[in-house]
């Protein structure tokens, strides 16, 4: 099948048809050469869209066929999970300084869920593990940056660590942990606690994901800076703990890295 300039294989076509059935509509793909440098695609929300009903996906027209396949499947899965009610993390105009943190936290649970679903169609997750490790190794060759625990920069790196650890293969996750232990020991220590907590709790359903996000918001004092929203209604979720945290409540994250 063909989408924009790319002819995609039969495996992708089977995935595409199943997702059209799940969504109840066929999204519109829009080429956008002006996407940010590190963004190959994104969902474009229009003012007239109902919550959870965005129908447009922007794609950088210069990406390779391999990148296009990954980007299209990735963004389509975001639409499906939004319709199923998996919570999103957003900021208001007054909270824009925290937008990068909200973006990363919003991906921590959603991306591993997407990986599991894409496994059913034979998409290669090992390629993600190899690419991610190469990027981490390259980034860690640069001079270290001091990141005081509990700051926004520290939280962004913490959520990145948790998100990629949940997605990596076992061997790749072990190497990632070793790299972080040398560069950012407090992030590695806190991140492993958070990863263990998420896995023990489970994050297969929207309610489980909501419970975990509630806990993270409470633990790291995020309520003034961002919001958890139900993508089907656009309304913010009330921040209340559904159960007691399995993590210690201490805000002492150790010495600076």
Q: Is residue 27 within 8 Å of residue 76, measured between CB atoms?
A: yes
Model confidence at 98: pLDDT above 70: yes
Backbone φ and ψ of 58, nearest 5°: -90, 140
Alpha helix stretches (DSSP H) within the chain: 10-23, 65-84, 99-119, 125-139, 152-167, 170-183, 185-201, 206-220
Closest CA to 123 of 75, 69, 76: 69
pLDDT digit string, tens, across residues 205-227: 999 999 999 999 999 999 999 99
User: Partners of 229 in the beta sheet?
Assistant: 88, 236
**Can you tell me whether residue 207 is helix, strand or coil?**
helix
CB atoms within 10 A of CB 36: 8
User: Partners of 44 in the beta sheet?
Assistant: 56
Higher pLDDT, 196 or 131: 196
pLDDT of residue 255: 57
**Can you tell me whether residue 95 is helix, strand or coil?**
helix
Model confidence at 64: pLDDT above 50: yes
User: At 124, is the pLDDT very low, low, confident or very high (cuts 50, 70, 90)?
Assistant: low
pLDDT of residue 247: 44
How many Å is the Cα radius of gyration of the chain?
19
By the 10 Å C-beta count (0-12 exposed, 13-18 middle, 19+ buried), 88 is classed as buried
Q: State the CATH architecture for 1-84.
A: 2-Layer Sandwich (3.30)
Tokens of residue 37, six digits: 């440098």
Domain ranges of the chain: 1-84, 86-257
pLDDT of residue 201: 93
pLDDT digit string, tens, across residues 134-175: 888 988 888 888 899 999 999 999 999 999 999 988 888 999
What is the distance between the alpha carbons of residues 69 and 9, in angstroms, rounded to a whole number? 9
């Amino acid at each position: 099948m063909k989408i924009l300039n790319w002819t995609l294989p039969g495996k992708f076509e089977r995935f595409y048809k199943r997702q059209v059935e799940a969504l109840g509509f066929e999204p519109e793909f829009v080429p956008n050469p002006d996407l940010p440098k590190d963004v190959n695609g994104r969902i474009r929300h229009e003012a007239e869209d109902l919550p959870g009903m965005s129908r447009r996906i922007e794609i950088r027209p210069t990406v390779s066929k391999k990148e296009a396949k990954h980007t299209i499947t990735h963004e389509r899965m975001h639409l499906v999970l939004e319709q199923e009610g998996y919570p999103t993390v957003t900021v208001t105009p007054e909270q824009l300084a925290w937008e990068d943190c909200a973006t990363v936290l919003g991906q921590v649970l959603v991306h591993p869920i997407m990986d599991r679903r894409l496994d059913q169609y034979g998409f290669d997750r090992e390629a993600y593990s190899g690419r991610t490790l190469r990027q981490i190794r390259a980034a860690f060759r640069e001079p270290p940056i001091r990141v005081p625990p509990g700051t926004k920069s520290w939280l962004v790196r913490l959520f990145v660590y948790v998100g990629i650890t949940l997605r990596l293969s076992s061997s790749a996750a072990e190497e990632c942990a070793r790299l972080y232990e040398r560069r950012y020991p407090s992030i590695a220590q806190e991140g492993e606690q958070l990863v263990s907590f998420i896995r023990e709790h489970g994050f297969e359903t929207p309610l489980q994901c909501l419970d975990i996000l509630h806990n993270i918001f409470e633990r790291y004092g995020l309520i003034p800076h961002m919001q958890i929203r139900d993508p089907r209604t656009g309304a913010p979720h009330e921040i209340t703990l559904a159960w007691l945290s399995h993590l210690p409540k201490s805000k002492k994250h150790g010495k600076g890295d």
